[in-house]
């Protein structure tokens, strides 16, 4: 009896231990059970089993019914874990992630004139003309130290379709118009510039019939000093004549001549000239030899330029639905239209007409006058230049413009620096780089 009680207690203890082991097996997915709890099958001749064997078999049945997905674990040889080396390449996800676009530069972002390392980087023209003229400005530049330091004989004067690319856009967007493309629209500028005839199609081949081989040009401003000057015949005797803005000819032939080889303007100065003075300036010059030169002072000029070269109406901006081609006559072709290169405009501002206005908060409004651009273009295109109708020290003696019907005071507008231009023209005249008409 005592042995039977001990056996029952011992078997009970075994059952408890087995139940605890079973719980452990349940927790760890039955791996240990599959490996070590092996219950021998009952043979035909074995019809009796011990209580312990029955308990083990029963426990295994319970565990396997609760975990039907468990499979025996087969030990395999351990495979070494290889940690990949760090890489600097972007993942596919990073490559596909949209990049934040670069914020375009705007004039409003700068209180003062921004200074960049590329300020004095200028595009050069490989086809810049060589001269044999003994009186050439290029020859004179070698003799005058201060002028030699300023003058770049092969600077690109005009833009061509080859000049637009992403690299140039990134460079020129650092400068406000007319010196660059800051604040303009990439797509609209691209569309306009790529319509400009190429360098080979639009060479400005100046020539002369003179024995000395010198190309002589007259730059004609609108100054009142020309009224009654009787300089018309002298002006017309030049190889080429530059006119600007409201170039009134009718009634003033004796004073300003009748010829125009280059008409320099912005979209706004041309439209204002035509709109405000219909009685004496009804159309822009349309001489057979003429070429038009535009100075682009803002986004509106590129919108105008695109419509002009496509012979369509302006699609947006202040000149919306205007047809620029209607102002230029039936003989107009894109090859006749030149656009001053922003680098040339900036070069003029930096080296010849560096106004103190640029040093203040109104830096963005300043640009040299249209007449100043015309005169300095002539100095880079021609061998000998005579300037007429430009501001002189005694400007107060004369009306503002030669075509004014009554004497008007000369107005110094804030966006130009006429006092600076006056000094510069006198300086160039005194150095014999050009000849400035200073009255009778």
Q: What is the CATH number of the domain that holds 290?
A: 3.90.1480.20
The position carrying tokens 């639905």 is 321
Answer yes or no: are the C-beta atoms of 316 and 198 closer than 8 Å.
no
Taking a C-beta distance cutoff of 8 angstroms, is the pair 379, 355 a contact? no
**DSSP bridge pairs for 223:** 401
**Res. 390: pLDDT tops 70:** yes
Q: How far apart are CA 289 and CA 291, in angstroms?
A: 7
pLDDT single digits (tens) 350-386: 999 999 999 999 999 999 999 999 999 999 999 999 9
What pLDDT band is residue 20 in, cutting at 50, 70 and 90? low
Note the pLDDT tens digit of each residue in 261-314.
Answer: 999 999 999 998 887 655 677 788 898 889 999 999 999 999 999 999 999 999
Q: How far from the centroid of its chain's Cα atoms is residue 332's Cα?
A: 29
Backbone phi and psi for residue 204, each to the nearest 5 degrees, phi listed first: -95, 90
Residue 378 lies in a domain: yes
Domain for residue 345, yes or no? yes
Close Cβ partners of 80 (under 8 Å, ≥ 6 residues apart): none
Assigned domain for 314 exists? yes
* Inter-residue contact 225 to 393 (CB < 8 Å): no
- Give residue 6's pLDDT: 54
Neighbours of 79 (CB within 10 A): 6
d(CA 90, CA 134): 63
Distances (CA, A) of 174 to 16, 118, 303: 86, 9, 20
- pLDDT at residue 14, rounded to an integer: 67
pLDDT tens per residue, range 361-370: 999 999 999 9
Dihedral-angle region of residue 59 (phi above 0 means left; psi in -120 to 50 means alpha; beta otherwise): alpha
Average pLDDT rounded to a whole number, residues 54-71:
46
Give Cβ neighbours of residue 81 (< 8 Å, ≥ 6 apart). Answer: none
Tell me what percent of the residues of the chain surpass a pLDDT of 70. Answer: 75
Helix or strand holding residue 53 (H, E): helix 51-66
pLDDT digits (tens, 9 = 90+) for 203-242: 676 777 787 889 999 999 999 999 999 999 999 999 999 9
Tell me the C-alpha distance between 84 and 91, whole Å. Answer: 14
Residue 180 has pLDDT above 90, yes or no: yes
Confidence of residue 23 (pLDDT cuts 50, 70, 90): low
Residue 171 lies in a domain: no
Structural domain contains residue 243:
yes
Greater pLDDT, 120 or 79: 120
What is the domain range of residue 216? 135-157+203-436
Task: Check residues 150 and 8 and name the one with the higher pLDDT.
Answer: 150
Please check whether residue 188 is in contact with residue 299, taking contact to mean a CB–CB distance below 8 angstroms.
yes
Q: Is residue 87 part of a domain?
A: no
- Chain mean pLDDT for the chain: 82
Nearest-angstrom CA–CA distance, 70 and 64: 8
Tokens of 205: 């081949």
Is 34 among the domain residues?
A: no
The tokens for 361 are 């908060």
pLDDT, tens digit, 9 for 90 and up, residues 88-137: 444 444 444 554 556 789 999 999 999 999 999 999 988 777 888 988 99
- pLDDT at position 82: 43
Phi, psi for residue 425 in degrees, rounded to 5: -65, -40
Is residue 197 one of the residues assigned to a domain? Answer: no
What is the maximum alpha-carbon separation in the chain? 154
pLDDT of residue 208: 78
Task: Please tell me the total count of domains within the chain.
Answer: 1
Tell me how far apart the alpha carbons of residues 362 and 353 are, in angstroms, rounded to a whole number: 16
Count how many Cα atoms sit within 13 Å of the Cα of residue 125 in the half-sphere of its side chain. Answer: 25
Contact 265, 293 (CB under 8 A): yes
Nearby residues of 215 by Cβ (< 8 Å), 6 or more positions away: 131, 133, 206, 207, 208, 239, 240, 381, 382, 383, 384
Identify the H or E element spanning 167. Answer: helix 166-172
What percent of the chain clears pLDDT 90, i.e. is strictly above it? 60
- Which pLDDT value is given to residue 199? 74
**What is the structure's pLDDT at 300?**
96
265 vs 41, residue with greater confidence: 265
pTM of the model: 0.75
Listed in sequence order, the residues at least 6 apart from 240 whose beta carbon sits closer than 8 Å to its beta carbon are 206, 215, 216, 217, 218, 261, 262, 378, 381, 382
């Amino acid at each position: 009896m005592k042995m039977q009680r001990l056996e029952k207690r011992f078997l009970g203890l075994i059952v408890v231990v087995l139940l605890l082991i079973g719980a452990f097996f349940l927790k760890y997915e039955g791996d240990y059970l599959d490996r070590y709890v092996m219950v021998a099958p009952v043979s035909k001749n074995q019809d009796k089993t011990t209580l312990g064997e029955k308990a083990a078999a029963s426990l295994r049945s319970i565990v396997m019914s609760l975990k039907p997905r468990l499979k025996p674990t087969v030990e395999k040889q351990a495979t070494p874990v290889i940690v990949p080396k760090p890489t600097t390449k972007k993942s596919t996800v990073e490559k596909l992630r949209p990049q934040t676009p670069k914020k375009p530069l705007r004039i409003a972002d700068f209180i003062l004139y921004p200074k960049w390392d590329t300020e004095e980087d200028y595009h050069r023209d490989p086809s810049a003309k060589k001269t044999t003229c003994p009186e050439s400005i290029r020859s004179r530049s070698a003799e005058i130290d201060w002028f030699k330091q300023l003058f770049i004989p092969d600077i690109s004067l005009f833009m061509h379709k080859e000049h637009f690319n992403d690299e140039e856009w990134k460079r020129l967007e650092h400068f406000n118009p007319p010196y660059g493309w800051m604040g303009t629209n990439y797509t609209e500028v691209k569309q306009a510039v790529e319509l400009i005839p190429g360098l080979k199609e639009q060479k400005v081949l100046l020539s002369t019939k003179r024995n000395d081989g010198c190309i002589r040009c007259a730059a004609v401003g609108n100054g009142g000093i020309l009224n009654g000057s009787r300089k018309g015949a002298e002006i017309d005797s030049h190889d080429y004549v530059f006119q600007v803005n409201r170039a009134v000819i009718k009634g003033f032939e004796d004073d300003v001549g009748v010829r125009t080889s280059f008409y320099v303007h912005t979209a706004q100065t041309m439209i204002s000239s035509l709109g405000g003075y219909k009685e004496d300036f009804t159309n822009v010059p349309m001489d057979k030899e003429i070429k038009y030169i535009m100075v682009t002072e803002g986004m509106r000029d590129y919108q105008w330029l695109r419509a002009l070269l496509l012979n369509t109406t302006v699609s947006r901006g202040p000149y919306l639905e205007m047809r620029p081609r209607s102002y230029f006559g039936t003989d107009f072709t894109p090859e006749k239209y030149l656009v001053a290169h922003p680098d040339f405009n900036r070069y003029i501002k930096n080296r010849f007409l560096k106004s103190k206005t640029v040093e203040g908060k109104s830096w963005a409004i300043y640009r040299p006058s249209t007449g100043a651009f015309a005169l300095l273009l002539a100095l880079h295109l021609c061998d000998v230049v005579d300037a007429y109708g430009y501001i002189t020290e005694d400007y107060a003696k004369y009306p503002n413009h030669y075509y004014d019907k009554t004497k008007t005071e000369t107005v110094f507008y804030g966006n130009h620096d006429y006092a600076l231009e006056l000094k510069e023209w006198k300086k160039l005249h005194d150095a014999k780089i050009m000849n400035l008409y200073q009255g009778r």
